[in-house]
A = this chain, B = another copy of it.
Amino acid sequence: MKIKIINPNTTWSMTREIEESAKQSAREDTEIYAVSPATGPDSVESLYDEALAAPGVISEVIKGDREEGADAFIIACFGDPGLEAAKEVTDKPVIGIAQAAIAVGKLMAPNFSILYVLDRSQKIIENVLKLHHAEEDCCSIRSVGLGVLEFEDKEALLQALLKQGKRCVEDGAECILLGCAGYTAFAEEMRQELGVLVLDGVVPAVKLCESLVDMALKTPKKKLWAYPDAKEISGFYELIKY
Protein backbone atom coordinates (compact mmCIF):
# COMPACT_ATOMS: atom_id res chain seq x y z
CA MET A 1 0.00 0.00 0.00
CA LYS A 2 0.98 3.62 -0.46
CA ILE A 3 0.83 6.04 2.46
CA LYS A 4 1.30 9.73 1.84
CA ILE A 5 2.61 11.77 4.76
CA ILE A 6 1.97 15.49 4.64
CA ASN A 7 4.13 17.65 6.84
CA PRO A 8 2.00 20.81 7.03
CA ASN A 9 5.02 23.06 7.32
CA THR A 10 7.36 23.83 4.46
CA THR A 11 10.61 22.84 6.17
CA TRP A 12 11.70 19.94 4.00
CA SER A 13 14.53 18.88 6.30
CA MET A 14 11.88 18.02 8.91
CA THR A 15 9.78 16.37 6.22
CA ARG A 16 12.71 14.10 5.40
CA GLU A 17 13.23 13.17 9.08
CA ILE A 18 9.57 12.32 9.41
CA GLU A 19 9.73 10.21 6.27
CA GLU A 20 12.76 8.42 7.64
CA SER A 21 11.21 7.33 10.92
CA ALA A 22 7.99 6.46 9.14
CA LYS A 23 9.85 4.19 6.74
CA GLN A 24 11.64 2.47 9.59
CA SER A 25 8.34 1.56 11.22
CA ALA A 26 6.43 0.65 8.05
CA ARG A 27 5.95 -2.87 6.79
CA GLU A 28 7.97 -4.06 3.79
CA ASP A 29 4.89 -3.95 1.57
CA THR A 30 4.11 -0.39 2.60
CA GLU A 31 5.37 2.45 0.44
CA ILE A 32 5.86 5.71 2.33
CA TYR A 33 6.37 9.12 0.79
CA ALA A 34 6.37 12.44 2.61
CA VAL A 35 5.86 15.93 1.26
CA SER A 36 5.52 19.50 2.37
CA PRO A 37 2.85 21.58 0.63
CA ALA A 38 3.94 24.18 -1.87
CA THR A 39 2.25 26.70 0.36
CA GLY A 40 2.19 27.47 4.06
CA PRO A 41 4.43 28.52 6.95
CA ASP A 42 7.83 27.01 7.62
CA SER A 43 6.70 25.89 11.07
CA VAL A 44 3.32 25.48 12.79
CA GLU A 45 3.28 26.92 16.30
CA SER A 46 0.16 29.09 16.36
CA LEU A 47 -3.48 28.93 15.30
CA TYR A 48 -2.54 31.42 12.58
CA ASP A 49 0.11 29.01 11.30
CA GLU A 50 -2.46 26.21 11.33
CA ALA A 51 -4.95 28.24 9.31
CA LEU A 52 -2.29 29.07 6.72
CA ALA A 53 -1.11 25.46 6.56
CA ALA A 54 -4.51 23.82 6.14
CA PRO A 55 -5.13 24.66 2.45
CA GLY A 56 -1.78 23.20 1.47
CA VAL A 57 -2.55 20.04 3.43
CA ILE A 58 -5.91 19.70 1.71
CA SER A 59 -4.36 20.25 -1.70
CA GLU A 60 -1.82 17.50 -1.07
CA VAL A 61 -4.58 15.13 0.00
CA ILE A 62 -6.54 15.90 -3.16
CA LYS A 63 -3.46 15.37 -5.32
CA GLY A 64 -2.59 12.14 -3.52
CA ASP A 65 -6.13 10.87 -3.89
CA ARG A 66 -6.73 11.87 -7.50
CA GLU A 67 -3.28 11.60 -9.09
CA GLU A 68 -0.84 9.65 -6.97
CA GLY A 69 -2.81 6.59 -5.98
CA ALA A 70 -2.19 7.05 -2.29
CA ASP A 71 -4.18 4.63 -0.09
CA ALA A 72 -4.06 6.65 3.11
CA PHE A 73 -2.89 10.01 4.40
CA ILE A 74 -1.06 11.20 7.50
CA ILE A 75 -1.07 14.83 8.59
CA ALA A 76 2.24 15.06 10.42
CA CYS A 77 1.76 18.01 12.73
CA PHE A 78 0.42 17.53 16.25
CA GLY A 79 -2.49 19.93 15.93
CA ASP A 80 -3.83 17.87 12.99
CA PRO A 81 -4.39 21.04 10.88
CA GLY A 82 -6.99 20.56 8.16
CA LEU A 83 -7.89 17.05 9.33
CA GLU A 84 -11.67 17.24 9.13
CA ALA A 85 -11.58 19.19 5.84
CA ALA A 86 -9.19 16.59 4.42
CA LYS A 87 -11.59 13.81 5.43
CA GLU A 88 -14.27 15.55 3.34
CA VAL A 89 -12.22 15.56 0.11
CA THR A 90 -11.35 11.83 0.08
CA ASP A 91 -12.92 8.62 1.32
CA LYS A 92 -9.54 7.09 2.04
CA PRO A 93 -8.24 7.06 5.63
CA VAL A 94 -6.77 10.36 6.80
CA ILE A 95 -5.12 10.41 10.23
CA GLY A 96 -3.49 13.20 12.15
CA ILE A 97 -0.47 12.35 14.28
CA ALA A 98 -2.18 13.77 17.36
CA GLN A 99 -5.18 11.58 16.59
CA ALA A 100 -2.92 8.55 16.16
CA ALA A 101 -0.93 9.17 19.34
CA ILE A 102 -4.14 9.70 21.32
CA ALA A 103 -5.74 6.53 19.90
CA VAL A 104 -2.72 4.36 20.69
CA GLY A 105 -2.27 6.05 24.07
CA LYS A 106 -5.85 5.13 24.94
CA LEU A 107 -5.29 1.52 23.86
CA MET A 108 -2.09 1.10 25.89
CA ALA A 109 -2.29 3.31 28.98
CA PRO A 110 -4.80 4.47 31.60
CA ASN A 111 -4.04 8.13 30.82
CA PHE A 112 -1.48 10.38 29.15
CA SER A 113 0.14 13.80 29.27
CA ILE A 114 1.25 15.78 26.24
CA LEU A 115 4.60 17.52 25.70
CA TYR A 116 4.52 20.28 23.10
CA VAL A 117 6.85 22.92 21.75
CA LEU A 118 6.24 26.52 22.87
CA ASP A 119 4.03 27.92 25.61
CA ARG A 120 2.20 29.90 22.96
CA SER A 121 1.18 26.66 21.22
CA GLN A 122 -0.89 25.40 24.15
CA LYS A 123 -4.18 26.35 22.51
CA ILE A 124 -3.35 24.06 19.59
CA ILE A 125 -3.09 21.14 22.00
CA GLU A 126 -6.25 22.10 23.88
CA ASN A 127 -8.13 22.29 20.57
CA VAL A 128 -6.90 18.95 19.28
CA LEU A 129 -7.86 17.22 22.55
CA LYS A 130 -11.34 18.69 22.15
CA LEU A 131 -11.50 17.61 18.49
CA HIS A 132 -10.83 14.00 19.44
CA HIS A 133 -12.93 14.03 22.66
CA ALA A 134 -9.84 13.12 24.65
CA GLU A 135 -9.86 15.76 27.38
CA GLU A 136 -10.85 13.16 29.96
CA ASP A 137 -7.80 11.02 29.10
CA CYS A 138 -5.29 13.82 29.50
CA CYS A 139 -3.43 14.42 32.79
CA SER A 140 -1.60 17.58 31.83
CA ILE A 141 -0.05 19.40 28.91
CA ARG A 142 3.41 20.89 29.28
CA SER A 143 5.62 22.88 26.98
CA VAL A 144 9.28 22.15 26.27
CA GLY A 145 9.97 25.80 25.48
CA LEU A 146 11.87 25.27 22.25
CA GLY A 147 10.56 26.28 18.84
CA VAL A 148 10.21 23.81 16.00
CA LEU A 149 13.21 25.31 14.24
CA GLU A 150 15.47 25.27 17.32
CA PHE A 151 15.90 21.50 17.21
CA GLU A 152 19.46 21.41 15.88
CA ASP A 153 20.94 20.95 19.35
CA LYS A 154 19.60 17.43 19.89
CA GLU A 155 21.13 17.11 23.35
CA ALA A 156 19.55 20.31 24.61
CA LEU A 157 16.22 19.19 23.20
CA LEU A 158 16.48 15.76 24.83
CA GLN A 159 17.27 17.34 28.19
CA ALA A 160 14.32 19.69 27.86
CA LEU A 161 12.06 16.79 26.95
CA LEU A 162 13.27 14.73 29.91
CA LYS A 163 12.85 17.63 32.32
CA GLN A 164 9.28 18.32 31.30
CA GLY A 165 8.58 14.61 30.94
CA LYS A 166 9.49 14.11 34.61
CA ARG A 167 6.92 16.74 35.51
CA CYS A 168 4.29 14.91 33.49
CA VAL A 169 5.05 11.77 35.49
CA GLU A 170 4.63 13.80 38.69
CA ASP A 171 1.27 14.91 37.27
CA GLY A 172 0.30 11.24 37.33
CA ALA A 173 0.82 10.43 33.65
CA GLU A 174 1.67 6.84 32.73
CA CYS A 175 2.10 7.73 29.08
CA ILE A 176 3.57 10.79 27.39
CA LEU A 177 2.55 11.87 23.91
CA LEU A 178 5.23 13.80 22.04
CA GLY A 179 3.40 16.78 20.64
CA CYS A 180 5.62 17.49 17.66
CA ALA A 181 6.67 15.41 14.67
CA GLY A 182 10.22 16.59 15.35
CA TYR A 183 10.40 14.67 18.63
CA THR A 184 10.01 11.21 17.07
CA ALA A 185 13.65 10.24 17.48
CA PHE A 186 13.59 10.64 21.27
CA ALA A 187 10.69 8.38 22.20
CA GLU A 188 12.71 5.29 23.05
CA GLU A 189 15.33 7.12 25.12
CA MET A 190 12.63 8.92 27.09
CA ARG A 191 10.75 5.68 27.73
CA GLN A 192 13.85 4.15 29.30
CA GLU A 193 14.61 7.26 31.31
CA LEU A 194 11.12 7.97 32.63
CA GLY A 195 9.74 4.46 33.06
CA VAL A 196 6.45 5.29 31.40
CA LEU A 197 5.17 4.76 27.89
CA VAL A 198 6.33 7.46 25.47
CA LEU A 199 4.64 7.78 22.09
CA ASP A 200 5.42 9.96 19.16
CA GLY A 201 2.63 10.37 16.63
CA VAL A 202 4.28 9.44 13.36
CA VAL A 203 4.93 5.76 14.00
CA PRO A 204 1.45 5.11 15.44
CA ALA A 205 -0.06 6.92 12.47
CA VAL A 206 1.80 4.67 10.04
CA LYS A 207 0.79 1.51 11.84
CA LEU A 208 -2.84 2.60 12.16
CA CYS A 209 -2.98 3.52 8.47
CA GLU A 210 -1.67 0.07 7.59
CA SER A 211 -4.44 -1.45 9.70
CA LEU A 212 -7.16 0.75 8.22
CA VAL A 213 -6.06 0.04 4.66
CA ASP A 214 -5.83 -3.69 5.41
CA MET A 215 -9.45 -3.49 6.50
CA ALA A 216 -10.33 -1.55 3.32
CA LEU A 217 -12.27 1.00 5.38
CA LYS A 218 -13.70 4.11 3.74
CA THR A 219 -14.80 7.37 5.35
CA PRO A 220 -18.61 7.40 5.39
CA LYS A 221 -19.99 10.11 3.09
CA LYS A 222 -23.53 10.22 4.42
CA LYS A 223 -23.58 13.75 5.78
CA LEU A 224 -21.07 15.18 8.25
CA TRP A 225 -17.99 14.49 6.12
CA ALA A 226 -19.69 14.28 2.70
CA TYR A 227 -17.74 15.48 -0.34
CA PRO A 228 -17.91 19.28 -0.54
CA ASP A 229 -19.96 20.72 -3.39
CA ALA A 230 -17.80 22.13 -6.17
CA LYS A 231 -17.18 25.83 -5.48
CA GLU A 232 -15.90 28.81 -7.33
CA ILE A 233 -12.66 29.56 -5.50
CA SER A 234 -10.99 32.92 -6.04
CA GLY A 235 -7.50 34.22 -6.04
CA PHE A 236 -4.44 33.28 -4.13
CA TYR A 237 -2.99 33.85 -0.75
CA GLU A 238 0.36 35.59 -1.01
CA LEU A 239 -1.10 38.65 0.65
CA ILE A 240 -1.49 36.64 3.84
CA LYS A 241 2.20 36.78 4.51
CA TYR A 242 2.60 38.73 7.71
A residues adjacent to B (C-beta < 8 A): 10, 25, 27, 37-43, 45-52, 54-56, 58-59, 62-63, 82, 84-85, 88-89, 93, 95, 99, 103-104, 106-111, 119-120, 122-123, 127, 130, 132-134, 136-137, 147, 169, 172, 174-175, 195-197, 199, 203-204, 207-208, 210-212, 214-215, 217-220, 222-226, 228-242
Q: How many copies does the complex hold?
A: 6
Task: State the Cβ distance, A125 to closest chain B Cβ, in Å.
Answer: 11
Task: State the Cβ distance, A66 to closest chain B Cβ, in Å.
Answer: 9
Whether the Cβ atoms of B47 and A229 lie closer than 8 Å is no
Whether the Cβ atoms of A42 and B231 lie closer than 8 Å is yes
Whether the Cβ atoms of A62 and B214 lie closer than 8 Å is no
Whether the Cβ atoms of A52 and B107 lie closer than 8 Å is no
Whether the Cβ atoms of B95 and A223 lie closer than 8 Å is no
Task: State the Cβ distance, A221 to closest chain B Cβ, in Å.
Answer: 8
Task: State the Cβ distance, A195 to closest chain B Cβ, in Å.
Answer: 6
Interface CB pairs A-B, < 8 A, 16: A40-B233, A47-B88, A48-B58, A52-B240, A54-B54, A55-B237, A55-B240, A59-B240, A103-B106, A106-B132, A133-B134, A133-B136, A174-B220, A231-B242, A233-B240, A236-B237
